[in-house]
A and B are shown apart, each in its own frame.
Chain A
Amino acid sequence: MVKKILLVVLMAFFMLMLLPFAKDFQAFEKLSPTAEKYVQDGPKELGGANLVSSVIVTYRGLDTLGEVAVLFIAAAGVGFFLRREGKNEKAARRQASQILFSGTAFLFPLILVFGVYIFLHGHLTPGGGFQGGVVIATAFVLLLLTDVSASINNSVLHLVESLSGASYVAIGILGLVLAAGFLDNRFLELGEFGSLISAGAIPLIYSFIGLKVGAELVGIVDNMREVRS
């Protein structure tokens, strides 16, 4: 009883604390100076038709590198704690239904291509490396759900992940050496605005992020799936 009263009092207290945010809320009438600079100069400087993702990988590229590092640490943590010890005995699992089998056979290539499309067109349409990588991971998850005996080749996964991570940083350093700063995309030709090969290094960076995120998430799910016997 006392517990419940305390809980209600606590919730009321939090609501009171949040009240000023609701009361004094006012929509922004104009962009902040930084945002205004991005909007005005971004398309010209970066050459990407999708301003949001162009800003994410260039002006705010260091933040994105940090996010990728956080995801890497999370994947490494899952891999460490859920490591399979000794020999890997296949637990008896129920076979997937026919619907899942046929659905996966049909959808797997489509989802894979869609994921690649999302990160290759990151500088043109909404989306980017993260989204594309996650979509690729969901395709593999579908495969793992369907085929209970399927196993992912871990060394290939690690190779893809490390190579794309290293290439991402290498591109950042190339930008530092050849252009204005770390993760500057302008050491490659900006090209024609709105075409697939444009916006300098942005499609390249997004491809590496997409591969890295996809490999990491597949690794996480693969680790979670295995039942330690």
Chain B
Amino acid sequence: MTTVLIIVLGVIMIVAAILALVQKSLLSAVIAAGAVSLLASILYLVLAAPDVAMTEAAIGSGLTTLVFLFALNKIRKEDKNG
């Protein structure tokens, strides 16, 4: 059961990672990258590492995505001005 779950999670993670690479829109790419982290945190939980899962969920899918979004916002503003 656990093995099946791990394989399913891994496959979805790979699909999300490829999506993040090929996506034309940067916003969607950032969100896909965040989804990879979120799935990774579930994977850590399944593999009995709750503290790593906590860090991954909070930093990987939370703060990193947000920092990317802020950076994206900044780049767009500077594009418009310059």
Contact = CB atoms under 8 A, between A and B. Distances in A.
Interface stretch (B10-18, B23-31, B58-66): B58-66
Interface stretch (A13-21, A132-140, A162-170, A186-194): A132-140
Interface in B49-82: 50-51, 54-55, 58-59, 62-63, 66-67, 70-71, 73-74, 77
Contacts of A141: 62-63, 66
Contacts, number: 44
Contacts of A137: 63
Please report whether the interface of chain B is mostly helix, strand, loop or mixed according to DSSP: helix
B51 A134 contact: no
Contact of B58 (A52, A131, A224, A225): A131
Interface in A38-85: 52-53
A8 interface: no
B63 A138 contact: yes
A52 B58 CA distance: 19
A78 to B, nearest CB: 9
A221 interface: yes
Interface residues of A, number: 20
Contacts of B66: 141, 221
Contacts of B71: 224
B62 A138 contact: yes
Contacts of A118: 54
Nearest to A82: B74
Contact of B74 (A127, A128, A131, A227): A227
A126 interface: yes
Contacts of A128: 51
Contact of A225 (B50, B55, B63, B70): B70
B77 A126 contact: no
Interface string A196-229: 0000000000000000000001001100110100
Interface string A127-163: 1101100110110010000000000000000000000
A128 B77 CA distance: 38
Given A52-B51, A126-B51, A126-B54, A224 B70 contact: yes
Nearest to B66: A141
16 contacts: A126-B51, A130-B55, A134-B55, A134-B58, A134-B62, A137-B63, A138-B58, A138-B63, A141-B63, A220-B67, A221-B70, A224-B70, A224-B71, A224-B74, A227-B74, A227-B77
Interface of B: 50-51, 54-55, 58-59, 62-63, 66-67, 70-71, 73-74, 77
